[in-house]
Structure 1
Amino acid sequence: MAPLPSPKPVEKFSRRGISIFLWLDKLNDQQGLIPTRAELDAGLNLTAAIASISGFTLENQSIETPDMSDDFDSSIPGSDKAEDSSLTFYEDKATNLIEEALAKGKQGHVVILRKGDIPGNKSMDVFPVRVGSLSPAYTTDNEAARFEVKFTITRRPAQSQPVPAVGATAKKVPA
């Protein structure tokens, strides 16, 4: 029997400095949730203002299926659920660009290019969301001013989609 081939080494990376987070108010493709390059380019690039991230994942809620023939409690996959998600931003003293774009009640899409803007790479996730709250964080600690935006994910996100071909650059949030 021939030996198994050696696996290629994994090219590990840190998401910081690579992943890109965009806010898109609207998408033409509401069914598939796949933005065009023009829509990505017109999006608000949130990346440089993000201090922390929570959520933006799907989790399966398994269903227990015990039966009398075995003392093992088996389970089967159940429905998927997206946890509520949030982005914490550094507050900009000069502009309210993010606060206005992500005001309470706004609906839109958080687009995450997990491996950066690499056309054709299947690393784009699109989360349809509604802003649940926008709350400043008050502290006397020696740290930058921040605010948190909490989102509810309104339907199944489109995950691991190909990044559209390159065009113009997205609007950047002032750093």
Structure 2
Amino acid sequence: MPRFSRKGITKIFFAETIAATSYIPTRTELTDATNITKQISAVEGFALENQEIETPDMESTFDSKIPGSDTAADSSITFYEDDTNSELEETLAKGTNGFIVILRKGDVPASNSMDVYPVRVASQSAAITVDNEAAKWTVRFSITDTPALNAPVPATTP
């Protein structure tokens, strides 16, 4: 099985709108989305977690479990800060609703490797440090609905 590094392959976008209730964007919606890949320093979360339910019984000393509710992991993206342009900070202002679209294997049409998370920006915060590193800022996202996982990347228009 060939392996690959996400760096240089994975693409991440912020889409203000996606019309489909399935949260799968059209090629036009993906093209109109803001490509935030190059500004990203780190990504946290953007995964589903299951809150299993313990189901012990009197017959066994083993405590079995069954799947419970799904929840989204705490999710955030850390960006490199631009000292002359604040367009991305304005796009991702606190309270903004939209979609984080992750093309895990790159922009490969028909590949079932697209994850779409409906989000609301919960907070923005600058990282202030005296360390010898690039200036960064972090956006925390609330996942507002069940994401579309392993969706097909939309086809390109001929």
TM-score where L is the length of structure 2: 0.98
Shift of 1:116: 0.1
Structure-2 residue corresponding to 1:18: 9
The answer on 1:143 being equivalent to 2:143 is no
What corresponds to 2:51 in structure 1? 61
Q: Percent identity?
A: 54
Equivalent residue for 2:29?
39
Moved over 4 A (4+): none
Please identify the structure whose Cα radius of gyration is greater.
Answer: 1
CA displacement 1:18-75 (0-9 Å, x = unmatched): 000000001111x200100000000000000000010000011110000001110000
Residues 1:160 and 2:150 aligned together: yes
Structure 1 segments unaligned to the other structure (5+ residues): 1-9, 169-175
User: After superposition, where does 1:8-157 map in structure 2 within 5 Å?
Assistant: 10-29=1-20, 31-157=21-147
CA distance, structure 2, for counterparts of residue 126 and residue 92 of structure 1: 26
Gaps of 5+ in 2: none
Equivalents in 2 of 1:85, 1:26: separation in Å? 20
TM-superposed CA distance for 1:167, in Å, is: 4.2
The 1-side partners of 2:74 and 2:96 are apart by 15
Q: Partners of 2:132 and 2:76 in 1: how far apart?
A: 23
Q: Which amino acid aligns with 1:101?
A: T
Q: What is the alpha-carbon distance in structure 2 between the residues aligned to residue 89 and residue 98 of structure 1?
A: 9
Number of matched pairs: 158
In structure 2, what is the Cα distance between the partners aligned to 1:56 and 1:50?
14
Q: Determine the C-alpha separation between the residues in 2 that align with 1:163 and 1:51.
A: 24
Distance 1:165 1:51 in 2: 29
Q: Say which SS state the counterpart of residue 34 (structure 1) adopts.
A: coil
Taking structure 1 as the reference length, the TM-score comes to 0.89
Q: Over the residues paired in the alignment, what is the CA RMSD in angstroms?
A: 1.0
Question: How far 1:96 sits from its partner (Å)?
Answer: 0.9
